[in-house]
Amino acid sequence: MTTVSRSLTYGKDFGLLYRLRLLLGGLIPHLILAGYSLLAVFPVVMILMNSFKTRKAIFGEPFAFPNPSNFDLIGYQTVLSRSNFTQNFVNSIVVTGVSLLFILLFGSMAAFALSEYNFRGNTLMALYLSIGIMIPIRLGTVSLLRLMVKLGLVNTLTGLILVYIAQGLPLTIFILSQFMRQVPKELKDAARIDGASEYRIYTMVLPLVRPALGAIGIFTMIPIWNDLWFPLVIAPSAKTATITLGVQQFLGQFVSDWNAVLSSLSLAMVPILILYVLFSQQMIRSITAGALK
């Protein structure tokens, strides 16, 4: 793109200097991008690579790839036998999955009401529901913990899920109501004439905003999966610890067992990395398409 427009502007200037400039102009961005990419992946690769090596090789030749002479799975064995890894993993999936489901359900219902009906106090309600976009729920922790104690929800996954639903709703409602406003009015009115109930119309609109639901889903999921604060405060017990908290505690105990530390980091990273590789294009496209502006 740039090269074409430049050669147009510079016209017939095909001198050596120009060609050199062109070459450098194309090369320097690549060098910067490649250099920074290396910085972004290098630490992650170091951990993954060394998690498969013997303790001696981890320290003796940290930059070497795993090979038959230094290969060792002792770290993974320690993690799987000494930690609640599976339990933590299941907890994280339950907490993230259920929260996400309710964020999308409740969020889309509220967004539908706000975008579809011109009732009294609509603007005020929209404003009220968007306070949480900027003010972090974490600041209410002292009272939130008391509330959880009162409701008997300390050390339960339900407690965590309720907090994450409340945390995820504001942005979801804000974005979804913008999308729902773009659904053609004729479509809904035609259904109304055919005698469809307002609930039926909601279920009609929902599939039409599916791309937005997907994007919001991914973006609400990541902070929930990665959160350390609320698992630490509300559900720190061994039975309810999420993977993020579980890994944090495991690493604290096994800090000097490098094989175990590297393996548990790798195990915690891999699911997210796989998901990221699968969905990264959609995720980035959804932002660049203005889905989250």
Partner 1 sequence: MSTTSKSRAFPTHIVVFLAPAVIVYTLFMIYPLIDSLRLSFFATGPDNKEYFVGLQNYVKLFTDSNYAPRFWGALKNNIVFFLVHMLVQNPIGLLLAALLASGGWGRKFYRTVLFMPTVLSFVIIGFIWNLILSPLWGVAESILKAVGLGALFRPWLGLESTALVTISLISVWQFVGIPMILFYAALIGIPEELIEAARVDGATGWQVFWRIKFPLILPTVGIVGILTFVGNFNAFDLIYTIKGALAGPNFSTDIMGTLFYRTFFGQQLQLGNPTMGATVAAMMFLIILSGVLIYMFLWQRRVQTVEM
Q: What residues numbered 238-267 form the site for partner 1, per CB under 8 A?
A: 244, 247-248, 251, 258, 261-262, 265
Q: Does 55 engage in binding with partner 1 (CB under 8 A)?
A: no
Q: Within 17-36, which residues bind partner 1 (CB under 8 A)?
A: 25-26, 29-30, 32-34, 36
The footprint of partner 1 on this chain (CB under 8 A) covers a number of residues equal to 103
Q: Select 33 or 238, whichever has its Cβ closest to partner 1.
A: 33
* Residues whose CB falls within 8 Å of the CB of residue 98, separated by 6 or more in sequence, listed in order: 157, 161
65 binds partner 1 (CB under 8 A): no
> Which residues, 192 to 231, sit near partner 1 by CB under 8 A?
192, 197-199, 202, 222, 225-229
Candidate residues 119, 193, 195, 207; the one interacting with partner 1 per rule CB under 8 A: 119
**Burial tier of 19 (Cβ tally within 10 Å: 0-12, 13-18, 19+):** exposed
Q: How many CB atoms lie within 10 A of CB 245?
A: 23
Residue 81 touching partner 1 (CB under 8 A): no
Specify the stretch interacting with partner 1 by CB under 8 A; choose among 67-75, 83-91, 138-146, 209-217.
Answer: 138-146
Closest CB to partner 1 among 68 and 150?
150
Query: By the 8 A CB rule, do 245 and 88 touch?
Result: yes
Q: Does 142 bind partner 1 (CB under 8 A)?
A: yes
Position among 134, 194, 195, 207 found at the interface with partner 1 (CB under 8 A): 134
Q: Which one of 12-20, 68-76, 163-171, 207-215 is the stretch in contact with partner 1 (CB under 8 A)?
A: 163-171
| Residue from the set 66, 132, 211, 214 that interacts with partner 1 by CB under 8 A | 132
Crossing angle of helices 74-82/258-288, nearest 10°?
80
Q: How far is the CB of 54 from partner 1 (least distance, A)?
A: 14
- Which residue of 14, 59, 65, 71 would you call a contact of partner 1, by CB under 8 A? 59
Work out the angle at residue 245's Cα, subtended by the Cα atoms of residues 165 and 278, and round it to the nearest 5 degrees.
Answer: 70
State which of residues 17, 139, 150, 193 lies at the interface with partner 1 (CB under 8 A): 139
Return d(Cα 239, Cα 260) in angstroms, integer: 21
- CB of residue 12 to partner 1, shortest distance in Å: 16
Determine which residue in the list 12, 16, 43, 81 makes contact with partner 1, applying CB under 8 A: 43
Q: Please tell me the distance from the alpha carbon of residue 78 to that of residue 73, in angstroms, as a whole number.
A: 9
Q: Does 84 bind partner 1 (CB under 8 A)?
A: no
Q: Which is nearer to partner 1, 113 or 212 (CB)?
A: 113
User: Site for partner 1 (CB under 8 A): which residue of 17, 40, 124, 193?
Assistant: 40
Q: Which of 80, 109, 191, 208 binds partner 1 (CB under 8 A)?
A: 109
